[in-house]
Amino acid sequence: MRLEDWCGVIQILPVRGLPLVSEGLDLAREIVRAAEASGIGIMDGDVIVVSHVVVSKAEGAVYRLSELEPSLRARSLAAITGKDPRHVEAILREAERVLRVRGEVIITETRHGLVCANSGVDLSNVGEDKAAALPRDPDLSAQAIRRGIEAATGRRVAVIVADSHGRPFRRGAVNVAIGCSGLQPIWDRRGEKDLYGRVLRSKQICVADELASAAELVMGQADEGVPVAIIRGYRYTPGEEPAVSIVRPRGENLFL
C-alpha cells in the first residue's frame, strides 16, 4: 500500500455520555448508544479506542484493597517506595517479574509481556478502596467489543484497548495499544523505497500505538468522562493480528 493511501482527513472524536462503568456492563452497547446520542454515530472504517480502565471494570478485573493481605515481599517494597502495601500486593500478583524499583515506581513485566510501571495496576477512576488491573486478555477484550459494535450497527470497525505507559528515555506518558482487533497493528514497510530509491530494511510502524496515542488527545487523563474516542478517516489495513505481537520477545529486547 502506498503512503498516500493511508492518509487523508482524519478526525479524532470524543465519545461522551457513557455511564460510570461497573462489572457486567455491555461496553459495546453503551459505546454505540453514546456515539449515536452525541450525533457521531459509528461508520465503516472507524477505529474505536477504549481506555483499559473501563474494560477492566466491566470485566471485573478489579482488586478491593481491603481484601488483600500483603505478603512479606509486598511490605518490603512498600517500605522502599512509600506505596500502600495492599497496592504493592496487587502489583506483585499481576507481575511475571519485577525488573526495577526506583523512587515510588516499581517496573515489572506483566503476564502479558508488557514492561510498565506498577504492572499497570491503576488507582485512578476506579473508586475508593479499589485498584484496576489490566484486562486478563486485552486482545480478546478488543475482539468482543468490536463484534458487539458490528452486530449492533452493521458497520465494519477496528477496536484498540489502550493504556498510558511511560518511556525509559523520554519524559511523559503516552497511550499505547495493549489490545486490538480488526486492524493490522504493524505497518511493515520493509522492501519499499525511500525518496532516493534506497530500499527500506527495518522500517516497521506501530500503527496501533500511534492511533492509541492520537486518541488520548481527546480522552485525557484526568477523569473517566471520556474513556472512548473514535478515529475516523484513517485507512488502516484490516486484520486479526493481536496487539501482543507488538511486544518484543526477550531475545530481541536490547535493554532487559
CATH number at 239 reads 3.30.1330.100
Look at residue 140 and tell me if it is in a domain. yes
Largest CA distance in the chain: 62
In a domain, 172, yes or no: yes
Domain end, chosen from 89, 116, 131, is at 131
Single out the residue in 131, 160, 179 at which a domain terminates: 131
Pairing of strands 158-167, 47-51: parallel
Q: Residue 41: phi, psi to the nearest 5?
A: 70, -175
Mind listing the pLDDT tens digit of every residue in the chain (256 residues)? 445 555 578 999 999 999 989 999 999 999 999 999 999 999 999 999 999 999 999 999 999 999 999 999 999 999 999 999 999 999 999 999 999 999 999 999 999 999 999 999 988 888 899 999 999 999 999 999 999 999 999 999 999 999 999 888 888 889 999 999 999 999 877 767 777 777 777 777 899 999 999 999 999 654 556 999 999 999 999 999 999 999 888 777 777 6
Helix (H) or strand (E) run with residue 35 in it? helix 27-37
Place of cell 515506581: 105
Picking from 102, 131, 160, the residue at the C-terminal end of a domain is: 131
Residue partners of 247: CB distance under 8 A and separation at least 6? 112, 113, 114
User: Looking at residue 250, what is its pLDDT?
Assistant: 78
Write down the pLDDT at residue 66.
95
189: Cα separation from own chain's centroid: 24
Number of domains observed in the structure of the chain:
2
User: Is the alpha carbon torsion for 246, 249, 250, 252 positive or negative?
Assistant: negative
The half-sphere exposure of 200 on its side-chain side, counting CA atoms within 13 A, is 13
**What is the CATH number for 127?**
3.90.1660.10
**Do residues 142 and 19 share a domain?**
yes
User: From start to end of the chain, where are the E strands?
Assistant: 11-14, 47-51, 62-64, 95-102, 105-110, 115-117, 130-132, 158-167, 170-181, 186-188, 204-206, 228-232
Structural domain contains residue 253: no
- pLDDT given at position 5: 54
C-alpha to C-alpha distance for 96 and 113, rounded to whole angstroms: 8
Domain containing 83 equals 63-131
What's the pLDDT at 117? 93
Output the pTM of the full model.
Answer: 0.90
Residue 52 lies in a domain: yes
pLDDT of residue 62: 96
User: Can you tell me whether residue 199 is helix, strand or coil?
Assistant: strand
Q: Is residue 47 part of a domain?
A: yes
Determine, yes or no, domain membership for 13: yes
The answer on 205 and 88 residing in a single domain is: no
d(CA 85, CA 78): 5
CA dihedral 138, 124, 107, 249 (to 10 degrees): 10
**φ/ψ of residue 31, rounded to 5:** -65, -45
C-alpha grid cell for residue 111? Answer: 503476564
For 212, residues 6+ apart whose C-beta sits below 8 A from its C-beta are: 49, 160, 162, 175, 176, 177
